[in-house]
Amino acid sequence: MTPYSTAAKAIRAALPGRSARIALVLGSGLGPVADAVENPASVPFDDIPGFPKPAVEGHHGRLIHGTLSGREVFVLQGRAHAYEGHPLSDVVLPVRALALLGVETLVLTNAAGSLREDMAPGSLMMLTDHINWSGANPLIGPNDPALGSRFFDMTQAYDIGLRDALRRNAEAQGVALNEGTYLWALGPNFETPAEIRAFRILGADAVGMSTVPEVLAARHAGLRVAAISGITNFGAGMVANEILDHEHTLKQGATIAESMTRLLLEFLKDPIHE
Ligand code: HPA
């Protein structure tokens, strides 16, 4: 037994008869998406062996199952971050457990800082690619061939079909959807203005402290991945005299949660999930 197969077994026991091919990961301030789940059944992360316990304000830790737009889904409400001290193998354990439970599509959300003047706080950005700036990687260590291969491709980590579907459905809902490259910084501090300038030169459009580990584990396990950032602030130094804090992240929460919920509910109706 691996830690993720133990977790999968515990989920099966806690949520009998519940399965789904789609899973959603909700980031900071996006708890309201979870409220839209119909016929919900949930299990606290505390009750799933090996699941890391998120500690940041604005995060709850529970796995919900139910239907969204008529489709069965698992929803991870709250996630653990590397900066909390969790080993990356623990950060990605929920993704691996869900893969063992038959999940084929993973949709991740997060809060991120904008590196582009034309991408304002309150807006959404669909990830088209990422930069792993952390120097860390959840795949370091022995490879489990039951999950995937040692060397795996990341050329189209963010699935082209899912990206098309997100674009379509954002348009249908009148939700403005930016697109760009997300850079993973370990945190927990916000970046320095010099780091933000450097990341812009590197070609990043947004910066955040999550998502990339889960995307790596998901791609390793062969899942289709889509990810959307809720932009909570401009990067450090981009707005004169502005100081960044977690309040900024939570303040944009209502606007972002509203458009993210509308987009996700429409996206889940898309025939691409059949
Ligand atoms: N930097 C890193 N992570 C973030 C930011 C930021 O500016 N905003 C929200 N998450």
Q: Would you list the DSSP string of 154-214?
A: -TT-S-HHHHHHHHHHHHHHT--EEEEEEEE---SSPPPHHHHHHHHHHT-SEEESSSHHH
Cβ–ligand 1 contact at 28 (below 6 Å): no
**Mean pLDDT of all residues belonging to the chain:** 93
**Position 57 pLDDT exceeds 70:** no
Name the pairing type of β-strands 38-44 and 62-68: antiparallel
Q: Which residues contact 241 (CB under 8 A, 6 or more apart)?
A: none
Give the predicted TM-score (pTM) of the model. Answer: 0.96
Active site residues: 28, 59, 81, 83-84, 111, 209-210, 233, 246
**Residue 130 — very low, low, confident or very high, per pLDDT cuts 50/70/90?**
very high
Least confident of 32-36, 96-100, 114-118, 221-225: 32-36
Q: In this structure, what are the phi and psi dihedrals at residue 190, rounded to the nearest 5 degrees?
A: -70, 160
Percent of the chain with pLDDT over 90: 86
Cβ–ligand 1 contact at 233 (below 6 Å): yes
Taking the centre of ligand 1 as the mean of its atom positions, its distance from the CA of residue 54, in whole angstroms, is 17
Q: Which atom of ligand 1 is nearest to the CA of 235?
A: 7
Q: In this structure, what are the phi and psi dihedrals at residue 168, rounded to the nearest 5 degrees?
A: -55, -50
Cβ–ligand 1 contact at 75 (below 6 Å): no
**Position 48 pLDDT exceeds 80:** yes
pLDDT of residue 244: 76
pLDDT digits (tens, 9 = 90+) for 158-190: 999 999 999 999 999 999 999 999 999 999 999
For residue 188, whether the previous peptide bond is cis, meaning omega lies within 30 degrees of 0, is yes
Distance CA 79, CA 244 (A): 21
Q: What is the DSSP letter of 27?
A: -
pLDDT digits (tens, 9 = 90+) for 200-255: 999 999 999 999 999 999 999 999 999 999 999 999 999 987 787 777 667 777 88
Ligand 1: residue whose CA is nearest its atom 10: 112
Average pLDDT value for residue range 122-138? 97
Ligand 1: residue whose CA is nearest its atom 7: 113
247 versus 86: the higher-pLDDT residue is 86
Cβ–ligand 1 contact at 217 (below 6 Å): no
The helix/strand/coil state of 246 is helix
What is the distance of C-alpha 191 from the center of its chain? 20
Least confident of 8-17, 31-40, 201-210: 31-40
Average pLDDT value for residue range 27-46? 89
**Position 60 pLDDT exceeds 70:** no
Structure tokens given for 104: 């084929």
Q: Which of 233, 195, 186 is nearest to 86 (CA)?
A: 186
Q: Give, for ligand 1, the residue of 186, 197, 209 to mutate: max count of ligand atoms closer than 8 Å to Cβ.
A: 209
Taking the centre of ligand 1 as the mean of its atom positions, its distance from the CA of residue 191, in whole angstroms, is 8
Name the pairing type of β-strands 22-26 and 62-68: unpaired
Distance CA 117, CA 231 (A): 12
78 versus 141: the higher-pLDDT residue is 141
Cβ–ligand 1 contact at 111 (below 6 Å): yes
Q: Which of 184, 182, 162, 183 is nearest to 263 (CA)?
A: 162
Q: Which atom of ligand 1 is nearest to the CA of 233?
A: 8
**Position 28 pLDDT exceeds 80:** no
